A and B are shown apart, each in its own frame.
Chain A
Amino acid sequence: MDLFSLTMHEISDLLKKKETTSRAVTESVLARIASVDERVKAYLTVTADAALAQAEQADRERSSGTTSPVLGVPIAIKDNMCTEGVRTTCASKILGNFIPPYSATVVARLQQAGSVMPGKVNMDEFAMGSSTENSGFMVTKNPWDLERIPGGSSGGSAAAVAAGECIAALGSDTGGSIRQPAACCGVVGLKPTYGRVSRYGLVAFASSLDQIGPITKDVTDAAILLNIISGHDERDSTSADVPAPDFTKSLVRDLKGVKVGIPKEYFIEGMDPEVDRAVRSAVKTLEGLGAMVVDVTLPHTGYAVATYYILATSEASSNLARYDGVKYGYRASGAKDLLEMYTKSRSQGFGPEVKRRIMLGTYALSAGYYDAYYKKGQQARTLIKRDFEEAFRRADIIATPTAPTAAFKIGEKSSDPLQMYLSDIFTISVNLAGIPGISIPCGFTAGGLPVGLQLLGRHFDEASILRAAYAYEQATDWHKKRAKL
């Protein structure tokens, strides 16, 4: 039995029954990284020694009676979450040498619960992208087909989970960055409600949209991980002070009385027919589990991509101003004065997509354009939010494809930013509305590429989408397939 291929709850069971040790699991994962990561390229930093020390510590704690569902379980962290003493680069050259003096709240919570961190995983630079091709260091490959992208921006997290290079991972999602790579890599990815999980220590891309969530091998693991990372944090004013339920309690097999809304705007022309077929078939399965399918409409969907690229880039242009070569990170040499130090450091430190978005956002916030862009964008955002409120009057959850196509080839869209932006067409509105969404595997294309089903819920109602996702998962076998490497 390959320990690295198991889920978190399976490993937890083995550990509880003393059939294995955290040390053995961690060694298995590290060995897997050593054997496949040369091809997958999920990890930017592997912290093998620290991981083994954490594993041994976890084994000691377990023998002295401590338990936790993640105690001794190797969980990879996306490289935009600060880890005290461990390099945190955001896959950007500008932070290539940055070692944070503090840990993100989610990292601290995982540590407190005794999890093991095998390392930090790749992403699109500053989480800007849908393919992980925008990493300033390397391109991560899709474990199902190494010629293809793993999705993004949490491509390293999704690929590492799919390749067995960790048991589970944390990703972050600003416009689909957890769900779309999860769909591409055939794993489960959950973006919680905005405010459910603390953003403290998550390097900001777009503050009003960013949210951390789990990327796991099945729905149970997603619920377990969400239990650990969610809840109010006094360091994050935007983290909601609402009670977080035990999400594993919502994992039941039937969907009687659950109304599943199908928005016609999400089944569009130009969509990959194989994706369309897989998702429609998944909806049938949900019906078979007792759900009632209803039509809903989200009329402002067409404005989502434009709205997102105004608001997200505006916030990003400001959030990324701190990378100026003054305090930490990359500083260009040979500058004659302050202005040159700024321009050289930023020109050399940031990659092309990041620069593009900084310029877009700077433009959108400029005097004379603010009303036409940023303000309009906020108004459109309100309309998109209302669309969902209306739809959730008729439906308890909404089902859509996660992405219009399965994983595309490396290089296929990297020269056309607009084509790339459309990869997130089904996930972006969810961040604008602030609602929770999950992507779960719902089939494969003829070429053997995973397809994702996206389920959306009301604010702070992760329980409903986890329930539907779990019921679907238990009725299907997609989640049991593993990429051959």
Chain B
Amino acid sequence: MNYEAVIGLEVHAQLQTTTKIFCGCETAFGEEANTRTCPVCIGMPGVLPVLNRKAVEYIIKTGLATHCTISPFSRFARKNYFYPDLPKGYQISQYELPLCERGHVEIVVDGKVKRIGLTRIHLEEDAGKNLHTSEAGASLVDLNRAGTPLMEIVSEPDIRTADEAAEYLKKLRSILRYIEVSDADMEKGNFRCDINISLRPAGVKEYGTRAEVKNVNSFKFVQKALEYEMKRQAQVLDDGGKVVQETRLFDSAKGVTFSMRSKEEAHDYRYFPEPDLVPVAITAEEVAVIRATIPELPDAKRERFVKEYGLPDYDADMLTQSRALAAYYEEAAKLAGQPKVVSNWMMGELMRLLNAENREIEDCPVGPDRLAAMIKMIESGVISTKIAKTVFEEMYRSGKDAEAVVREKGLVQVSDTGAIEKIIDEVIKANPAQHADYKGGKDKLFGFFVGQVMKASKGKANPEMVNDLLKKKLSG
């Protein structure tokens, strides 16, 4: 049968506050185990949590950037369960009254804008980490991460395909980075995703039974897990079976999901209002102050790029994925004065080189001023576009500017008629048979001659002049 997937995602993003959510400990990665801890985040008897207001500010900022309603009155709750990495035996989270509700983000799929609803965004603390050692029978616990502020972003079941899911996650990550509340780096584990997915026969309104796939930690895995689940659930339904409501895990090595626990054995978290924290009251004035700190967001920037620089949607979308990339573009475009050419260079050579090394635009050795200067050298005919590719790569490798590269490597374009004619004469002389064939009507051989001339000039000959002069000489 033909099924439609109904997908909702829960994203946990770590907030980039300098201290933890309920104590003054530093939030830090890769430190020696249990060195970023204090009695509060270790869960000593008698300690009490004190809310980090910065974390509240960041989550409100996120709510505003995703069109949420900010609750004037919000409360924390305890989620009770036993696990060694959870020092208090409960996680302080939010349950009944989250900080943000009812928002949305927009994604572009197949050239169409689609709105994905957000149910809620709430604040909670992260747990520590269990370390399983080679020591017989012993496990260790590192609580450096315990108490790191997380926000949980829960989407409506508005997503229908794996591609939409990936676009949604990318957009979310892009927004979080724009407003500088989270690195949203999946590889570092500070952007994690739980998937809820069910199938229903195409055209049917009611939801099917859903499965939850927990803790999927890369965009690619989210897509893979979804594709697998769609196939698996479709098979179950086609065979006349029923999808079991359960929690599953994704095995990234095998590309499959497998059952972790069913609903019958699901945790009863015994949520109740956290008595150690007073409810959070947010005034309209506070919201206004936070709203004023929100920069131009990706959607608005994309639209502006289309309008202001005459870029196609695709270019504008790519170039606004991060604030740094967009800023680089605007700087280079301003200096070079050729917006589309700059876009082509960035989306072509620049991205190719960065991606090959897994580098971010922030670490690009070629600054926007240097890219612009190089483009100007093309415009003024000092180098050819073809040579420019070599020049650019050399700039990227050596950290030198275009002028220095061109000078040192002698890559200045040859635009001297006499010099080019000399090369052409030699090429024609060396290839009499081809010359004869050309004259006999084999026009296609023109390309061959251009290639030979360019090769002989080491690519430096001005291509336009080569074209003009070759035509004359070959028919002469």
Is the pair B48, A200 in contact by a Cβ cutoff of 8 Å? yes
Is the pair B89, A324 in contact by a Cβ cutoff of 8 Å? yes
CA distance A326 to B128 in the complex (A): 13
CA distance A326 to B122 in the complex (A): 29
Is the pair A362, B45 in contact by a Cβ cutoff of 8 Å? no
Is the pair B46, A200 in contact by a Cβ cutoff of 8 Å? yes
Is the pair A204, B46 in contact by a Cβ cutoff of 8 Å? yes
B82 contact from A100, A342, A366, Cβ within 8 A:
A342
Which residues of chain A are near B82, meaning CB under 8 Å? Answer: 321, 324, 342
Is the pair A322, B43 in contact by a Cβ cutoff of 8 Å? yes
B-contacting residues, A87-104, CB 8 Å: 88, 90, 95, 98, 100-102, 104
CA distance A179 to B40 in the complex (A): 30
Is A238 at the interface (CB under 8 A from chain B)? yes
Residue of A nearest to B276 (CB): A207
A321 contact from B49, B80, B276, Cβ within 8 A:
B80
Which residues of chain A are near B141, meaning CB under 8 Å? Answer: 326-327
Is B8 at the interface (CB under 8 A from chain A)? no
Which residues of chain A are near B270, meaning CB under 8 Å? Answer: 317-318, 362, 365-367, 370
Is A208 at the interface (CB under 8 A from chain B)? yes
Q: A100-B44, A208-B275, A237-B49 are known contacts. Are A366 and B268 too (CB-CB below 8 A)? A: yes
A315 contact from B87, B88, B275, Cβ within 8 A:
B275
Is the pair B46, A201 in contact by a Cβ cutoff of 8 Å? yes
Residue of A nearest to B85 (CB): A326
Is B73 at the interface (CB under 8 A from chain A)? no
Rounded to whole Å, the gap between the CB of A318 and the closest CB of chain B is 5
CA distance A90 to B45 in the complex (A): 10
Is the pair A314, B272 in contact by a Cβ cutoff of 8 Å? yes
Is B277 at the interface (CB under 8 A from chain A)? yes
CB-defined interface of A306-328 with B at 8 Å, one 1/0 digit per residue? 00000000110110111110111
Is the pair A237, B276 in contact by a Cβ cutoff of 8 Å? yes
CA distance A112 to B89 in the complex (A): 33
Residue of A nearest to B40 (CB): A235
CA distance A200 to B22 in the complex (A): 13
Residue of B nearest to A81 (CB): B46
Which residues of chain B are near A200, meaning CB under 8 Å? Answer: 46-48
Is A199 at the interface (CB under 8 A from chain B)? yes
Which residues of chain A are near B88, meaning CB under 8 Å? Answer: 321-322
CA distance A101 to B270 in the complex (A): 31
Which residues of chain A are near B221, meaning CB under 8 Å? Answer: none
Is the pair A82, B45 in contact by a Cβ cutoff of 8 Å? yes
Which residues of chain A are near B47, meaning CB under 8 Å? Answer: 102, 200-201
CA distance A236 to B43 in the complex (A): 15
Report the tally of A-B residue pairs with Cβ distances under 8 A.
103
Is the pair B272, A318 in contact by a Cβ cutoff of 8 Å? yes
Which residues of chain B are near A469, meaning CB under 8 Å? Answer: none
Is A247 at the interface (CB under 8 A from chain B)? no
Which residues of chain B are near A201, meaning CB under 8 Å? Answer: 46-47
Residue of B nearest to A100 (CB): B44
Is the pair B50, A101 in contact by a Cβ cutoff of 8 Å? no
A-contacting residues, B332-382, CB 8 Å: none
A327 contact from B43, B51, B78, B272, Cβ within 8 A:
B43
Is the pair B276, A238 in contact by a Cβ cutoff of 8 Å? yes
Rounded to whole Å, the gap between the CB of A99 and the closest CB of chain B is 11
Is B3 at the interface (CB under 8 A from chain A)? no
What is the number of residues of chain B that contact chain A, defined by CB distance less than 8 Å?
28
CB-defined interface of B60-98 with A at 8 Å, one 1/0 digit per residue? 000000000000000000101010100111100000000
Is the pair B277, A237 in contact by a Cβ cutoff of 8 Å? yes
Interface size class of chain A, counting residues whose CB lies under 8 Å from the partner chain:
35 or more
Which residues of chain A are near B48, meaning CB under 8 Å? Answer: 199-200, 235-238
**What secondary structure prevails in chain A residues at the interface with B?**
loop
Is the pair B42, A327 in contact by a Cβ cutoff of 8 Å? yes
B-contacting residues, A183-240, CB 8 Å: 199-204, 206-208, 234-238
Residue of A nearest to B44 (CB): A100
Is the pair B39, A203 in contact by a Cβ cutoff of 8 Å? no
Is A53 at the interface (CB under 8 A from chain B)? no
CA distance A362 to B47 in the complex (A): 22
Which residues of chain B are near A102, meaning CB under 8 Å? Answer: 39, 44, 47
Is B278 at the interface (CB under 8 A from chain A)? yes
CA distance A236 to B39 in the complex (A): 14
CB-defined interface of A328-357 with B at 8 Å, one 1/0 digit per residue? 100000000010001000000000000000
Rounded to whole Å, the gap between the CB of B206 and the closest CB of chain A is 25
CA distance A374 to B51 in the complex (A): 25
CB-defined interface of B248-289 with A at 8 Å, one 1/0 digit per residue? 000000000000000000001011100111100000000000
Which residues of chain B are near A234, meaning CB under 8 Å? Answer: 50
Which residues of chain B are near A322, meaning CB under 8 Å? Answer: 43, 45, 87-89
A-contacting residues, B376-402, CB 8 Å: none
Rounded to whole Å, the gap between the CB of A195 and the closest CB of chain B is 10
CA distance A8 to B23 in the complex (A): 37
Is the pair A237, B50 in contact by a Cβ cutoff of 8 Å? yes
CB-defined interface of A56-99 with B at 8 Å, one 1/0 digit per residue? 00000000000000000000000011100000101000010010
Which residues of chain B are near A235, meaning CB under 8 Å? Answer: 48, 50
Is the pair B278, A238 in contact by a Cβ cutoff of 8 Å? yes
B46 contact from A203, A237, A321, Cβ within 8 A:
A203
Is the pair B277, A318 in contact by a Cβ cutoff of 8 Å? no
Is the pair B46, A374 in contact by a Cβ cutoff of 8 Å? no
B-contacting residues, A356-370, CB 8 Å: 362, 365-367, 370
Which residues of chain B are near A366, meaning CB under 8 Å? Answer: 268, 270
A237 contact from B42, B51, B90, Cβ within 8 A:
B51
Which residues of chain A are near B45, meaning CB under 8 Å? Answer: 82, 88, 90, 95, 98, 100, 203-204, 322-323, 328
Which residues of chain A are near B44, meaning CB under 8 Å? Answer: 82, 100-102, 328
Which residues of chain B are near A327, meaning CB under 8 Å? Answer: 42-43, 87, 141
CA distance A226 to B84 in the complex (A): 39
Nearest 8 pairs between A and B by C-beta?
A321-B89, A365-B270, A207-B275, A208-B275, A203-B45, A201-B46, A203-B46, A82-B46
What are 6 residue pairs bridging A and B, where the CB atoms are less than 8 Å apart in the complex? Answer: A207-B276, A235-B50, A318-B80, A324-B84, A328-B44, A366-B270
Q: Known contacts A324-B82, A327-B43; can you find 12 more A-B pairs with CB under 8 A?
A: A100-B39, A102-B39, A202-B46, A203-B46, A236-B48, A318-B80, A318-B89, A321-B82, A322-B43, A323-B45, A326-B84, A328-B45
